[in-house]
Amino acid sequence: MSYTKYTNCHLIDNGEIYPNTDLWVDNASKTICAPPGSGSVRVVDLKGQYLAPGFIDIQNNGIYGLNFSNLNADSSDEDIRAFYQFYQDAMTKYVATGVTATCPTVTSNFPEVYEKVLPFYKKSRATDHTDSLGAHIEGPFINIQKKGCHPVETFVDAKDGEAQLNRIYGGEKNLIDNVCILTAAPEIPGVLDLIPLVKKKNITFSLGHTMAEYDTGLKAIENGASMITHLYNAMPQPHHRDAGVVGLINSPAAGSKTPYFGLICDGVHVDPSMASMAYKSNPDKCVLVTDAMHLIGLPDGTYKWDSQYIVKEGFKLYLKGTDTLAGAATTLPACVRNLMKWTNASLAQAVKTVTNNAAVSVGLQKEKGFLNEGCDADFVVLNGEGYVQSVYKLNNPIKSSDLSLQPNHSTKLMAVL
């Protein structure tokens, strides 16, 4: 038997720091284990830095030029093979940011798109790239009044129940095998009745792109919804006499069923003061997400996206000629640092939102997101400011790209239309 011992480090888990604590990994299973009684040992000296679980991003639309929705009815076998290679390459680059697992997010689309792309996002376990936890399918059961940049021609209702669910997403097997989260608006006809069916398939149901009032949102929670997608965005803003869906994050009526909520801490989608308010309302249910578009990691400029153009300025993305936001381009470690700055959260508390909270929100806490025995050996090594110094993917060391992706460190290049 052989083992790896991470030593001379401070562990971050459960929102706390465990100073000068060693961590052991079974090299065969590539999982965290108890200190062994015997066997060969490889020692990794982390020189007083912080060791945390690998970061988890449960909402990400694309990376390094790859749009996770970018196949369609006309895609040839050659197109599909090229997409697969692009996907593998992009996920290999993405792990260097510190994100060791993600939910590739497919925005509102036609059935033939889901049929082709979802199988790529089947749950994975790799040593050299970011794992998929299963897709996050965002739409097309959403409200046209909160469409964002989703194409309205794809929107549908759920009046036909499970038959409609299976028709849209390419069949029950495609859902069960390849999907982790489903975002829908509970006020769309038929959606409330779909929630228990989705939950039985071991898929997390999340409320989003919705005009739902508080009572409708509460009914969705009672039916099994357990998350809110990118809080504040694509939903009515809270009023002191009409809290709306936002009010669910610390609702007395929801009790123990209070939902987890995604929060985009990029300083663009949500004002820092409002992000602070949400986090402090319920820090144990806050999950930082990037909502990244495929332009993350690319130079600033104007890019064609289907029939539209997206302008990238640093971490900001918007549809050309409008003020409509088109996803984000901020990395998850940058979001963690923003949360620390805006809320005075400690490094350990901020890291909890992208590790422990993220894992529990999708029911994977026995596999990912914790430094418990049996969890995968996916780690980030951090300095005291929250910058990723290195990454370990199933115990395999990977050089960090965190610092190089910050706007003030990136090289300005001309984007090609």
Is 294 annotated in a binding site? The answer is no
> What one-character DSSP code corresponds to residue 407?
G
- Parallel, antiparallel or unpaired: strands 55-60 and 62-63: unpaired
291 is catalytic: yes
Which of 170, 210, 166 minimizes the C-alpha distance to 192? 210
Which of 149, 79, 147 minimizes the C-alpha distance to 117? 79
Q: Which residues are 380's β-sheet partners?
A: 52, 391
Which of 243, 282, 239 minimizes the C-alpha distance to 260? 282
Is 149 annotated in a binding site? The answer is yes
Is 282 annotated in a binding site? The answer is no
Is 269 annotated in a binding site? The answer is yes
Which of 246, 252, 243, 241 minimizes the C-alpha distance to 230? 246
Is 10 annotated in a binding site? The answer is no
Is 129 annotated in a binding site? The answer is no
Concatenating the DSSP letter of every residue in 155-190 gives ----TTTHHHHHHHHT-HHHHHHHEEEEEE-TTSTT
Is 230 annotated in a binding site? The answer is yes
Is 180 annotated in a binding site? The answer is no
**From 291, 300, 378, 402, the catalytic residue:** 291
CB 51 within 8 A of CB 18: no
Q: How many CB atoms lie within 10 A of CB 314?
A: 15
Is 158 annotated in a binding site? The answer is no
Q: Which residues are 140's β-sheet partners?
A: none
191 vs 157: CA distance, rounded Å: 8
342 vs 413: CA distance, rounded Å: 31
Length reported for the chain: 417
Annotated binding residues, written as ranges, equal: 138, 149, 209, 230, 233-234, 241, 269, 325-327
Annotated binding residues for substrate, written as ranges, equal: 149, 233-234, 241, 269, 325-327
Q: Which residues are catalytic?
A: 291
Annotated binding residues for Zn(2+), written as ranges, equal: 138, 209, 230
